[in-house]
Each structure stands twice: as C-alpha cells, then as structure tokens.
Amino acid sequence: MKKEKLYHFYDMILSRCLAILGFSSCAGLISCQMEYGPPTDYLEVYPDKVYFPAEGGSVSVSIHSESNWHMTSVPFFANATPTKGNGSKIITIVATENKESPSRSGIMEITGGENVTATVTIYQEGQ
C-alpha cells in the first residue's frame, strides 16, 4: 500500500473504533480524558459515623486529603483536635457526658481544598 492509502486506512479504523466507543472525533477522546481524569482534590474520613455512651468518651477518626482542611462545624456536645491540618491526619473527637434522657446526634463537617467537604455523624446515648 502507498503511504497515503495506509494513513487513510488507519484513520478510517480509528474513526470507526471511536464511533463504537461513542466518540465522534479524537477531540472527544481527549476531552473525556481531561474531564474524567484522576481527582486532584479529595477529602475522606473514616469512620464517618461514631457512637458514644451517655458517659462520653473519645474516638479517633482518620482524615485523608492532599490539601489543607479545617473544621467548619462541630456539634455542641463534642470537640475535635486538631481543628485544621494539611494532608492525612488522625483527629480525636471527645464527647461530653449526656445527662439528659434523650439520645443526641450531630454532624461534624470538615472542608478542604476547593470546597470539598466530608462529614462525620456523631451519635450519643442518653441517660
């Protein structure tokens, strides 16, 4: 085959393969890779639910991130340290004693990077 025919043949094969995959051109393939590439900013917590007895106590939670993060809200009956950091850290959540009969719960929110948020739900039994 001549070079021009060979290039046309490869172009035709590539176009058909892209059409089968749902792309009408190479530009679609490139934009798809850019749009769905690996995340550059993430924030995860584990566990995302913690439970305390009425007496209170403390528990550790892992924060996984590649950027700066800070606490944006903590329930009134708990506190967490550290309240800000950079990268992955382990934080300690301490719940005060619940002297009331109903159980209580609240959401601790952590914000990082470009407004990425993660939450930890805190539950505590009542007396």
Query: Do strands 84-86 and 78-81 pair parallel, antiparallel, or not at all (unpaired)?
Result: unpaired
Classify domain 43-124 at the CATH class level.
mainly beta
What is the amino acid identity at position 52?
A: F
Phi-psi region of 113 (alpha: psi -120 to 50; beta: other; left: phi over 0): left
Q: Where are the domains of the chain?
A: 3-35, 43-124
Token couple for 4: 């021009």
- The string of pLDDT tens digits covering residues 20-50 is 655 554 444 444 444 555 456 789 999 999 9
pLDDT digits (tens, 9 = 90+) for 85-119: 999 999 999 999 999 889 999 999 999 988 899 99
pTM, whole model, 2 decimals? 0.68
In one-letter notation, the amino acid at residue 83 is: T
Distances 62 to 27, 31, 45, 80, 119 between C-alpha atoms, Å: 40, 34, 6, 12, 12
